Amino acid sequence: MEKPRRPVVVTGFGPFGEHSVNASWIAVQELEKLGLRDDVDLFVYEIPVEYQAVQRLIPALWKKHSPQLVVHVGLSGMATTVTLEKCGHNVGYRGLDNCRFCPGSHCCVEGGPECIDSVIDMDQVCKRVSDLDLDVLVTISKDAGRYLCDFTYYTSLYQSHGRSAFVHVPPLGKPYTAEQLGRALQAIIEEMLNVLEHSESDINCHNEH
């Protein structure tokens, strides 16, 4: 029997500040060239570095595709590794976006929980990807930075009840090429899907007993 198609949405960000080329979107475009496994329909989107655009676009993507997983990719100017973020934060947003705007409440969802964890076990994904001996170092973080990356992640986690992930990449050439980042994203997202499916089959198994 043919496996059902699984929609997966992957986003990168547009330019901001000194970053006229955003490595996250370049890496996502490389991933699009490579593709994911055969039963996955991959949809990629570039998100503007604007709080209000994020609040409009993230729910629209979930509504349009009903994806099994959404993975947001963002740029960290300080990163030297590819970093898997465990959680998103609701409050503390004071940095101005590309429209010179920040939320008056400094939060994503008024009354929402302070922090939402991804349902994906990032430690397990990190270990599995590291065992593949890619030429890219993958690490874990619990702080996505309280700017548009964190804001997007929390918004998506809130929308999806935790079925989202966030990956930070370093600037291009510091130290990785676009091709290396694309291959790393491919391996990371395929492992995320494996971990997600394994945890869901465990839940279904328990429910049947």
Give catalytic residue positions.
85, 149
Distances 96 to 16, 70, 102, 147, 151 between C-alpha atoms, Å: 11, 25, 5, 8, 12
Q: Name the DSSP letter for residue 98.
A: T
Can you read off the two tokens belonging to residue 76?
A: 């960290």
At how many degrees (to 10) do helices 122-130 and 178-208 cross? Answer: 130
Distance CA 92, CA 122 (A): 24
**Can you tell me the distance from the alpha carbon of 61 to that of 9, in angstroms, rounded to the nearest whole number?**
8
Q: What is the dihedral of CA 16, 98, 32, 191, to 10 degrees?
A: 90
